[in-house]
Amino acid sequence: MIRIIIFALLSALFSACSDDAPSPLVTPAAAGELTLTFDARVGNADFALNKDFTFGSQALNFTKLRYWVSNMVLVDTKGAEFIVPDSYFLMEEVGELDLSGTINDKLIYPANKRETITLKGIPAGEYKSVKFSIGVDSRHNDNLSLHAGELSIANGMSSIVWMWHSSYIFSSLAGSVKQGSETKAFKVETGLNANYKTMAIDFAAPVNSAAAKGVVLQVDVAKMLDGVDLVKNPTINAATAPLMSTVATNQATKAIMFGSAGQ
């Protein structure tokens, strides 16, 4: 009888100790990273500055390509979404830019080519698509004092003449266009909240972030200009709202597509 009582007491004691023991720690999946390359093209040719490209009866020569990629979201194979924080990136291929406000305030932006961004701290897993926007969302576009990611007036993508207040230029394309014996300088800019465009790009196969794979998206600059005659309309901005809307829509619906994925 005494043995039975002792056994019962010991059982109760061990049971109490078990109830008070901490639960096993759950180790989250290791974070990975993913590189995204926005490979600028002109049809089947690689985009380049100061090089002639033929568009039908016109020859275009580019001196600048800049645009904002923002608010990235990665979608995994189960449909779960990972919102990439502070994801505002300036993609560009430019020569040296003079951003000086006055003669006494000299500011030179150096020549630069930037097509690739690296998203770090991505939850390990397999992703099937990416969502992002071209331009800057209204919260930041209407208030340049807000900073996130790479947003900065010093990046030269703001204009004080649009809507009579400061706002970001979403994309900018400049150069010269030649048709027959006529040559004109052109500047194509998009902006304004109505032209903030969001898109989703599906990958050909799931991409594993833990393997640090990269994804290449092709950006066909020629398709940005579908339906636009730069000889007749060499300047496109907020003053030519319908044409600006056409360029912004083209960029979001025609110009960017999946290219490839690899290590």
* Burial (CB count within 10 angstroms: exposed 0-12, middle 13-18, buried 19+), residue 224: buried
215 close to 37: Cβ distance less than 8 angstroms: yes
137 close to 87: Cβ distance less than 8 angstroms: no
* pLDDT tens-digit map of 220-246: 999 999 999 999 999 999 999 999 999
Which of the two residues, 162 and 143, has the higher pLDDT score? Answer: 143
What type of residue sits at position 240? T
pTM summary value? 0.85
197 close to 250: Cβ distance less than 8 angstroms: no
* pLDDT tens-digit map of 199-219: 999 999 999 988 767 999 999
31 close to 124: Cβ distance less than 8 angstroms: yes
Q: What residues does each domain of the chain span? A: 35-262
